[in-house]
């Protein structure tokens, strides 16, 4: 699993800054258009987009990056109910995706939950096969 690379924008030209500032003045309504279809943002996303637009209107350069729900190997092992060593072996074999932050491994909660679901499914299939024998 990889995160999208961080994106850095340059500041807007002064004329664009002023036009954006006028548009934003006194408004907290944000509607996004994707392929001509209007999409209303929830409160959290609307706040993030408004913050981004206000920063651009002030002439700031802006950096946008993704934040994933990353766990340490200890947290992921505890969540999965397995040992830290077994988890490291799973990541070494590529059975669970891992990201490195320096020398530290990080595992997304989504990936550990997907692995758990696959283990449960495999266990159910095995039990079903044993009943059919």
pLDDT tens-digit series, residues 54-96: 999 999 999 887 666 889 999 999 989 999 999 999 999 999 9
Q: pTM of the prediction?
A: 0.50
Q: In degrees to the nearest 10, what's the CA dihedral of 117, 123, 127, 132?
A: 80
Determine the Cα angle at 109 with ends 121 and 72, to 5°.
125
Tell whether the model's pLDDT for residue 42 goes beyond 60: yes
**pLDDT averaged over the chain?**
87
Angle between helices 73-80 and 84-92 (to 10 degrees): 110
Alpha helices (H) in the chain, listed in sequence order: 14-24, 43-57, 73-80, 84-92, 109-132
pLDDT of residue 69: 82
Give the pLDDT confidence score for residue 1 in this predicted structure.
Answer: 37
- pLDDT score of 117: 93
Higher pLDDT, 7 or 113: 113
At CA 29, angle to CA 68 and CA 8, rounded to 5?
40
Closest-CA residue to 112 (of 124, 98, 133): 98
């Amino acid at each position: 699993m990889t995160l999208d690379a961080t994106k850095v924008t340059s500041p807007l030209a002064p004329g664009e800054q002023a036009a954006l500032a006028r548009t934003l003045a006194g408004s907290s309504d944000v509607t996004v258009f994707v392929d001509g279809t209007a999409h209303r943002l929830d409160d959290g996303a609307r706040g993030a987009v408004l913050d981004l637009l206000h920063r651009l209107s002030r002439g700031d350069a802006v950096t946008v990056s993704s934040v994933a729900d990353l766990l340490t190997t200890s947290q992921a092992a505890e969540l999965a109910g397995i040992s830290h060593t077994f988890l490291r072996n799973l990541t070494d074999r590529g059975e669970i995706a891992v990201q490195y932050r320096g020398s530290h491994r990080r595992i997304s909660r989504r990936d550990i939950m997907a692995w758990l679901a696959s283990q449960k499914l495999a266990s159910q299939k095995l039990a079903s096969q044993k009943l059919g024998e």
